[in-house]
Amino acid sequence: MAIKTTGINHIALVCRDMKETVHFYTEILNMPLFKTVQLPDGGQHFFFDCGNGNSVAFFWWDDAPPAAPGIASVKEFPFDAKTAVGSMNHLAFDMAEDELEAAIVRLQDANVPLTPAVLNHDDSPQGVAPAMHDGVFVRSVYFTDPNGIMLEFAATTRAFGPEDIAHEPATCNTAEG
Protein backbone atom coordinates (compact mmCIF):
# COMPACT_ATOMS: atom_id res chain seq x y z
CA MET A 1 0.00 0.00 0.00
CA ALA A 2 1.35 3.46 -0.95
CA ILE A 3 1.99 6.13 1.67
CA LYS A 4 -0.58 8.89 1.36
CA THR A 5 -0.10 12.19 3.18
CA THR A 6 -2.47 15.13 3.20
CA GLY A 7 0.06 17.88 3.84
CA ILE A 8 2.34 19.12 6.60
CA ASN A 9 0.98 18.70 10.12
CA HIS A 10 3.67 20.88 11.68
CA ILE A 11 7.29 21.82 11.49
CA ALA A 12 9.17 21.80 14.80
CA LEU A 13 11.87 24.42 15.34
CA VAL A 14 13.94 25.43 18.37
CA CYS A 15 13.73 28.88 19.96
CA ARG A 16 16.02 30.69 22.38
CA ASP A 17 13.21 32.36 24.36
CA MET A 18 9.67 30.95 24.34
CA LYS A 19 8.06 34.14 25.66
CA GLU A 20 9.68 36.24 22.92
CA THR A 21 8.70 33.62 20.32
CA VAL A 22 5.07 33.52 21.52
CA HIS A 23 4.88 37.32 21.28
CA PHE A 24 6.31 37.36 17.73
CA TYR A 25 4.12 34.59 16.33
CA THR A 26 0.87 35.61 18.07
CA GLU A 27 1.12 39.41 18.14
CA ILE A 28 3.08 40.21 14.97
CA LEU A 29 2.26 37.28 12.67
CA ASN A 30 -1.27 36.73 14.08
CA MET A 31 -0.77 32.98 14.47
CA PRO A 32 -2.83 31.79 17.46
CA LEU A 33 -1.09 29.68 20.09
CA PHE A 34 -3.28 26.57 20.37
CA LYS A 35 -1.28 24.00 22.36
CA THR A 36 1.42 24.13 25.02
CA VAL A 37 3.36 21.16 26.40
CA GLN A 38 5.69 21.12 29.39
CA LEU A 39 8.35 18.48 28.68
CA PRO A 40 9.61 16.07 31.34
CA ASP A 41 13.18 17.37 30.89
CA GLY A 42 12.11 20.94 31.76
CA GLY A 43 11.71 22.08 28.17
CA GLN A 44 8.59 23.32 26.42
CA HIS A 45 6.86 22.56 23.10
CA PHE A 46 4.34 25.16 21.84
CA PHE A 47 2.17 25.05 18.69
CA PHE A 48 0.93 27.99 16.56
CA ASP A 49 -1.83 27.87 13.94
CA CYS A 50 -0.46 29.20 10.64
CA GLY A 51 -3.69 28.57 8.69
CA ASN A 52 -5.37 25.84 6.67
CA GLY A 53 -4.86 23.20 9.36
CA ASN A 54 -1.08 23.72 9.37
CA SER A 55 1.03 24.64 12.34
CA VAL A 56 4.48 25.77 13.39
CA ALA A 57 5.82 24.38 16.64
CA PHE A 58 8.75 25.42 18.78
CA PHE A 59 10.82 23.57 21.31
CA TRP A 60 12.62 25.47 24.06
CA TRP A 61 15.30 24.14 26.39
CA ASP A 62 17.29 26.26 28.81
CA ASP A 63 20.45 24.34 27.87
CA ALA A 64 19.92 24.15 24.09
CA PRO A 65 23.04 24.59 21.95
CA PRO A 66 23.50 28.16 20.63
CA ALA A 67 22.34 29.29 17.19
CA ALA A 68 24.68 28.42 14.32
CA PRO A 69 24.10 30.97 11.51
CA GLY A 70 25.71 29.85 8.28
CA ILE A 71 25.44 26.22 9.38
CA ALA A 72 22.01 25.43 10.78
CA SER A 73 20.36 28.66 9.63
CA VAL A 74 20.85 31.35 7.00
CA LYS A 75 23.62 33.77 7.91
CA GLU A 76 22.36 36.73 5.84
CA PHE A 77 19.82 36.60 3.01
CA PRO A 78 20.37 36.98 0.09
CA PHE A 79 24.14 37.44 0.42
CA ASP A 80 24.99 34.37 2.51
CA ALA A 81 22.03 32.00 2.28
CA LYS A 82 23.74 28.59 2.11
CA THR A 83 23.10 26.26 5.02
CA ALA A 84 24.39 22.81 5.96
CA VAL A 85 23.00 19.51 4.73
CA GLY A 86 20.10 18.53 6.98
CA SER A 87 19.47 22.11 8.14
CA MET A 88 16.35 24.16 7.54
CA ASN A 89 17.11 27.02 5.16
CA HIS A 90 13.85 28.93 5.62
CA LEU A 91 10.14 28.51 6.25
CA ALA A 92 7.70 29.98 3.71
CA PHE A 93 4.12 30.81 4.69
CA ASP A 94 1.62 30.79 1.83
CA MET A 95 -0.67 33.78 1.40
CA ALA A 96 -2.83 35.36 -1.26
CA GLU A 97 -1.02 37.90 -3.42
CA ASP A 98 -3.46 40.65 -2.43
CA GLU A 99 -2.50 40.08 1.25
CA LEU A 100 1.25 40.50 0.68
CA GLU A 101 1.41 44.31 0.85
CA ALA A 102 -0.65 44.45 4.08
CA ALA A 103 1.63 41.81 5.63
CA ILE A 104 4.68 43.89 4.70
CA VAL A 105 3.18 46.98 6.34
CA ARG A 106 2.46 44.97 9.49
CA LEU A 107 6.07 43.75 9.62
CA GLN A 108 7.39 47.27 9.04
CA ASP A 109 5.09 48.67 11.75
CA ALA A 110 6.53 46.08 14.16
CA ASN A 111 10.10 47.07 13.13
CA VAL A 112 10.84 43.61 11.75
CA PRO A 113 13.76 43.81 9.30
CA LEU A 114 12.82 42.47 5.87
CA THR A 115 13.99 42.40 2.27
CA PRO A 116 13.83 45.91 0.81
CA ALA A 117 11.27 45.00 -1.84
CA VAL A 118 8.90 42.25 -2.86
CA LEU A 119 10.89 39.69 -4.83
CA ASN A 120 9.38 38.54 -8.12
CA HIS A 121 10.73 34.99 -8.48
CA ASP A 122 11.09 33.92 -12.12
CA ASP A 123 13.20 31.62 -14.29
CA SER A 124 15.69 34.32 -15.35
CA PRO A 125 19.41 33.74 -14.67
CA GLN A 126 19.11 36.05 -11.61
CA GLY A 127 16.06 34.15 -10.31
CA VAL A 128 14.17 37.38 -9.63
CA ALA A 129 12.80 40.19 -11.77
CA PRO A 130 12.53 43.89 -10.90
CA ALA A 131 8.89 43.97 -12.04
CA MET A 132 5.94 41.62 -12.29
CA HIS A 133 5.63 39.74 -15.63
CA ASP A 134 3.97 36.55 -16.94
CA GLY A 135 6.98 34.41 -15.97
CA VAL A 136 6.84 35.32 -12.27
CA PHE A 137 5.67 32.27 -10.32
CA VAL A 138 5.98 33.54 -6.73
CA ARG A 139 6.13 36.99 -5.17
CA SER A 140 7.61 37.09 -1.71
CA VAL A 141 9.26 38.95 1.13
CA TYR A 142 11.85 37.51 3.54
CA PHE A 143 12.39 38.35 7.21
CA THR A 144 13.66 36.69 10.37
CA ASP A 145 11.99 35.86 13.64
CA PRO A 146 13.61 36.64 17.03
CA ASN A 147 15.50 33.32 16.85
CA GLY A 148 17.21 34.19 13.57
CA ILE A 149 15.00 31.79 11.61
CA MET A 150 14.48 33.07 8.08
CA LEU A 151 10.81 33.26 7.19
CA GLU A 152 9.05 34.09 3.94
CA PHE A 153 5.57 35.25 3.02
CA ALA A 154 5.06 33.72 -0.43
CA ALA A 155 2.22 34.29 -2.90
CA THR A 156 2.04 31.92 -5.85
CA THR A 157 1.03 33.87 -8.95
CA ARG A 158 0.28 31.15 -11.49
CA ALA A 159 -0.42 27.45 -11.85
CA PHE A 160 2.53 25.12 -12.42
CA GLY A 161 2.72 22.73 -15.36
CA PRO A 162 5.06 20.12 -16.88
CA GLU A 163 7.22 22.90 -18.38
CA ASP A 164 8.19 23.93 -14.83
CA ILE A 165 10.23 20.75 -14.42
CA ALA A 166 13.15 21.67 -16.67
CA HIS A 167 16.33 20.71 -14.78
CA GLU A 168 18.12 17.44 -14.07
CA PRO A 169 18.76 16.86 -10.37
CA ALA A 170 22.35 17.49 -9.28
CA THR A 171 24.39 14.85 -7.51
CA CYS A 172 27.15 15.00 -4.95
CA ASN A 173 30.66 15.12 -6.42
CA THR A 174 32.58 14.51 -3.22
CA ALA A 175 33.56 11.31 -1.44
CA GLU A 176 31.95 12.68 1.75
CA GLY A 177 28.60 12.65 -0.05
The CA angle 144-10-109, to the nearest 5 degrees, is: 30
Contact yes or no for 141/118 (Cβ under 8 A)? yes
Query: Rg of the chain over CA atoms, in angstroms?
Result: 18
Q: What is the mean pLDDT of residues 91-115?
A: 95
Contact assessment for residue 151 and residue 88, using Cβ atoms and an 8 Å cutoff: no
With 70 as the cut, is the pLDDT of residue 43 above it?
yes
DSSP states of 140-151: EEEEE-TT--EE
Mean pLDDT value across residues 110-127: 93
Q: Where are the alpha helices (DSSP H) in 16-172?
A: 18-23, 97-109
Q: What is the share, in percent, of the chain residues with pLDDT greater than 90?
A: 81
Q: How far apart are CA 136 and CA 128, in angstroms?
A: 8
> Which segments of 30-112 are extended strands (E)?
33-38, 44-51, 54-60, 91-94
Rounded Cα gap, residues 24 and 52, in angstroms: 20
Q: How confident is the model at residue 6 (pLDDT cuts 50, 70, 90)?
A: confident
Find the mean pLDDT for residues 100-104: 94
Mean pLDDT calculated for residue range 76-105 = 90
pLDDT one-digit tens code per residue, 124-166: 999 999 999 999 999 999 999 999 999 999 999 999 999 999 9
Is the confidence at residue 176, as pLDDT, over 70? no
pLDDT of residue 80: 85
What span, in angstroms and rounded, lies between the C-alpha atoms of 21 and 131?
34
173 pLDDT higher than 90: no
Global pTM reads 0.90
List domains and CATH numbers for the chain.
8-62 (3.10.180.10), 74-161 (3.30.720.110)
Q: Could you tell me the pLDDT band of residue 20, with boundaries at 50, 70 and 90?
A: very high
Q: What is the DSSP letter of 164?
A: G
Q: What is the mean pLDDT of residues 73-99?
A: 89
Whether the pLDDT of residue 77 is over 80: the answer is no
CB within 8 A of 131, min separation 6: which ones? 120
Mean pLDDT (the chain) is 93
Which of 91, 70, 157, 81 is CA-nearest to residue 118? 157
